[in-house]
Amino acid sequence: MNNLNTAKMDDHNLLLALAGIISAFGVKEVWAIIQKKMDIGAKKDEREESLYTKQIEVLTNKITQLETKIELLIEENIQLRVKVVKMEARLINSAKKKVNKKRDERN
């Protein structure tokens, strides 16, 4: 019976050792999987940051282009206003001359 207990104990120890080896291997594999997922997550974050950076650069360029276009439109608007004022002045002078001619013809 003593031999039987030893055999049972040896089987129990063997099972514990086997369970320990399997669990250690499993933990190692699980850790490797977790590391891979973390690396993939980090790479994804880097790609997203890179994408966001590119989008920000594109939007910044568009804003700069729009600012330039706005400045050109403001200058063009000023020039057009000057032309309108000159045309108004010419119309007023022309109207004055016509009125003066009609007054002269009546007199």
- State the Cα–Cα distance between residues 80 and 97, nearest whole angstrom: 25
Distance CA(55)–CA(63), nearest Å, equals: 12
pTM score, whole prediction: 0.47
Q: Which amino acid is at 54?
A: K
Q: Count of CB atoms within 10 A of residue 25's CB?
A: 10
Rg, C-alpha atoms of the chain: 45
Give, for all 107 residues of the chain, the pLDDT tens digit: 445 555 455 777 777 776 776 676 666 675 676 678 777 777 777 777 888 888 999 999 999 999 999 999 999 999 999 999 999 999 999 999 888 888 877 76
